Amino acid sequence: MCALPAFQLADREGQLRSLQDWPDQALIVNFWATWCAPCRREIPLLQQLQRDHSGEGFQVIGIAVDFRDKVLAYADEMQIDYPLLIGEQEALDAAAAFGVTTIGLPFTVFSDRRGQIVTAHLGELTAAEANLILDAVRRVDAGETTPADARIVLEAALAALPEPEPTEE
């Protein structure tokens, strides 16, 4: 893993945006779809992360791999308060730019403020996992560790977490 890839997708207003439009921010880039149950369950956590950590320089960006009209309706219903980039094949191409050949949703990439990828998480994110990952990103941003070393420590820390309780939908 290295730097965030360059690509553009339309935002909620139809304007083309790229991840580089949020300079000097540690990004939480979440690939999701309206038809994906784990994605829908994860959105309140992402909204909480945005509210709790935006003041520290973290920015959640949702990348919807879905039909624009469905995304806009669902985003309004859920009152999603972080930026959304929307595309069908274009969003799949964006995931491929991260080196993902077969995408499973949800899929979340965490970068430091310099746009270096610290880690990627496949599957529904839990609060405990998010806290560990954000702490690792903070250490990278503070110059205490490198993204590569942070990934090694994170792998062990995440593996030590208890399994989350299964959820139903």
> Confidence class of residue 148 from pLDDT cuts 50, 70 and 90?
very high
DSSP for the chain?
Answer: --BPPP--EEETTS-EE-GGGSTT-EEEEEEE-TT-HHHHHHHHHHHHHHHHHGGGTEEEEEEEES-HHHHHHHHHHHT--S-EEEESHHHHHHHHHTT-SS--SSEEEEE-TTSBEEEEEESPPPHHHHHHHHHHHHHHHTTSS-HHHHHHHHHHHHHHSPPPPP---
Domains of the chain: 25-160 (3.40.30.10)
**pLDDT of 1:** 55
Mean pLDDT of 83-89: 95
**pLDDT of 138:** 97
Q: How much of the chain exceeds pLDDT 90, in percent?
A: 85
Query: Does pLDDT of 99 surpass 60?
Result: yes
Q: For residue range 3-24, what is the model confidence (pLDDT) as tens digits?
A: 999 999 999 999 999 999 999 9
* Average pLDDT of the chain to the nearest whole number: 93
Query: Does pLDDT of 169 surpass 60?
Result: no
**pLDDT of 19:** 97
Mean pLDDT of 100-124: 92
Mean pLDDT of 90-110: 87
**pLDDT of 167:** 64
